Amino acid sequence: MKKSLVAIVLACVGLAGGQTAPQPSAQPAAAPQQKKEIKDPAEYNAYVGAVQQQDAAAKISGLEAFLAQYPNSVMKEDALELLMGSYQQSGNQVKMMDAAQRLLQANPNNVRALALLAYTKRTLAQAGQNPGPNLADAKQYGEKGLQALQTFAKPEGMSDPDFQKMKDQMAAIFNSAVGIAALQDKDYATATKDLRIAADANPTDFSLVYPLALAYLQSPTPDYINGVWYAARASVVAPTPQYQQSIEKYAKSQYVKYHAGEDGWPEVLAQAKASPTQPAGFTIKPAPTPAEQAAAMVKDKTPEQIKALSFAEWELVLSKGTPEAADKVWSLIKGLSLQMEGQVIKVSPTELQIAASQDDIEKNRADIILTMNTTIPAKLMPKEGGTLDFEGTPVSYTATPFVMTMEKGTLLTKAAPPPPKKPPVRKKRPGA
């Protein structure tokens, strides 16, 4: 069964050898208890005693005891934030997430709990652990977190620049969760929007940069300029040399697909290595349009050179070129007896439908209608799907969809190759 797009990404990230983005801090940014007051001395002593513990295990024990004894304390949210951070510090992810869930029960808009859960659920999914359910949860926490950030009040004592920096970091966490989930759902517009914010905030995080490249390139209307840049950047920050080579090859193939050539690719890759974010004004010259290709095909060519073009090249000029270019070609090949090869699409005794260009052969679509000079005998009737050598004279054409009408059709037969020469027979000499 074909893997989903995100499953492929998750497999890549799973081989990153434990290299993940820095985890968001679960510690409170300030001491909001300055505005709160515990009136019961025993409750106050229990809280302060737990908070002042330096050892993570001792702090966890003290905070859990405090929350159990004083479940409705005015300091409940603060205690849960500290507990969440202490479990994170001790490396107990399960208990950390449990504390985060308890914190959201106390305050559904607690941005630190939402950030930790959005980040943890996303990274668990990108490690291949229940990716579907975990990405669904990550999306939920991410969307809720982005909403909560809009009304998130600056903590007491925090400077404006530090507060903005913290909000930006949390926004990147929430956007990454929403963006990866959107990529799984093939919601490419949301994926590119959210992952762009997250990847630009974390330009060395392969787990964000590469999915962003895929979101741009796998969209039904690919954005090759942005997609190629982030694919090239992903090849630079990929976790292993094997992935670096593989993704660089992919990025180059997408560049060539859009640009129609390898020229300029080394410069793009060099920029991706030198700049963690996309340079202002970065662009890639697209491949020539069919009209531009058609114009270049006949420019400065002699009549004999135009006559020597392939049928596919004539078709391009006659169907996509300017009226002047099309007239130039048609005036030279109309009425000219041509010998060609094509694939038989449909047969009748007096008319053959033939595909002569490779594109139309692959589409099984006739681009030549050949009226025969004489009725084709039954024993010589070509088979549909077979290859045919024929002669005909162009008399008219339609540009869209392209079909050239030919008359005076004649079947041609290839000369049979000469039989292999037999080695001379040596006669035995008498008495030998």
Q: What is the full per-residue pLDDT of the chain (432 aa) written as tens digits?
A: 333 333 333 333 333 323 333 344 444 443 343 567 888 999 999 999 999 999 999 999 999 999 999 999 999 999 999 999 999 999 999 999 999 999 999 999 999 999 999 999 999 999 999 999 999 999 999 999 999 999 999 888 899 999 999 999 999 999 999 999 999 999 999 999 999 999 999 999 999 999 999 999 999 999 999 999 999 999 999 999 999 999 999 999 999 999 989 999 999 999 999 999 999 999 999 998 888 889 888 988 999 999 999 999 999 999 999 999 999 999 999 999 999 999 999 999 999 999 999 989 999 999 999 999 999 999 999 999 999 999 999 999 999 999 999 999 999 986 556 666 666 555 555 554
Does pTM top 0.85 for this prediction? no
- Say yes or no: 340 and 201 in one domain: no
Burial of 61 (0-12, 13-18, 19+ CB in 10 A): middle
Tally of domains in the chain: 2
**Residue 141 belongs to a domain with what CATH number?**
1.25.40.10
Residue 422, in any domain of the structure: no
**Domain span including residue 339:** 334-411
Residue 306, in any domain of the structure: no
Domain boundary among 222, 254, 275: 222
- Say yes or no: 40 and 171 in one domain: yes
The number of residues in the chain equals 432
Residue 364, in any domain of the structure: yes
Contact (CB, 8 A) for 256 and 282: no
Residue 267, in any domain of the structure: no
Q: What is the largest CA-CA distance in the chain?
A: 134
Domain boundary among 178, 193, 222: 222
Residue 238, in any domain of the structure: no
**Residue 361 belongs to a domain with what CATH number?**
2.40.50
Residue 392, in any domain of the structure: yes
144-155 burial: b if 16+ Cβ within 10 Å, else e: bbbebbeebeee
- Say yes or no: 344 and 210 in one domain: no
- Say yes or no: 343 and 216 in one domain: no
- Say yes or no: 218 and 341 in one domain: no
Residue 127, in any domain of the structure: yes
Domain boundary among 175, 194, 222: 222
Residue 373, in any domain of the structure: yes
